[in-house]
Structure 1
């Protein structure tokens, strides 16, 4: 088995924070996921975008960290956009019944004000 080193990159501009993760999201990298998201939320973005395009593997600890990120983003009053959910992570989310929890979307959709119907 080839291990992919965990990497993250974060940037915040014009009310949008973007965190790109790469490698394996697992027990070892989960604390770094939480730290990267918390650091971005300190900038008080309107939207946080999680780019998972370069994620090669995700286990339950990684999913838990992503779900915690979703909760933190919501608590901060920001919108969440998740990009690049790969096949392996998609299957894992489906298995645990969380396929709709980390959905895609666009930055434009996440920054639109909520409608009252």
Structure 2
């Protein structure tokens, strides 16, 4: 779902070889609707293996490669540990919980235009399970 240029994708359950294509498709669908910011909510992700991590990294690259801002919420302990183990802890910087402020994912693949015009937290979610 895209509202005021902000797309919100909520991932839930396990991110692995089976669910990786659903992540790619959800991101592709949001980008096709000309979102200016994509918010990836990982709050309900219970497990992420190497294939799931690859899906997340590819999603990030796809979003930033189009010049769309990329925001992440809810990086859990298991995913944070996995990112830290591979030296990629800075790849998914979480959005600040204060309304009106955000931290954007860093990287050289794209540019960041600034804060979205609407808070991603108020959008209807697109849930993948």
Output the TM-score relative to the length of structure 2: 0.75
What is the CA–CA distance in structure 1 between the aligned matches of 2:101 and 2:28, rounded to whole Å? 22
Higher relative contact order (CA 8 A, sep 6+): 2
Residue 68 of structure 2 is aligned with which of 53, 72, 78?
78
Other-structure match for 1:37: 27
Residue 43 of structure 2 is aligned with which of 53, 66, 78?
53
TM-fit CA distance, 1:89: 0.4
Other-structure match for 2:82: 92
Structure 1 unaligned segments of length 5 or more: list them.
1-10
Q: Which has the higher strand share?
A: 1
Output the TM-score relative to the length of structure 1: 0.82
Residue 114 of structure 2 is aligned with which of 100, 108, 112?
112
Q: Which has the higher helix share?
A: 1
Other-structure match for 1:16: 6
TM-fit CA distance, 1:39: 0.5
Other-structure match for 2:18: 28
Q: Which runs of 4+ in 1 moved over 2 A?
A: 105-111
SS at match of 1:112: coil
TM-fit CA distance, 1:112: 1.1
Instruction: Kindly tell me the number of residue pairs found equivalent between the two proteins.
Output: 103
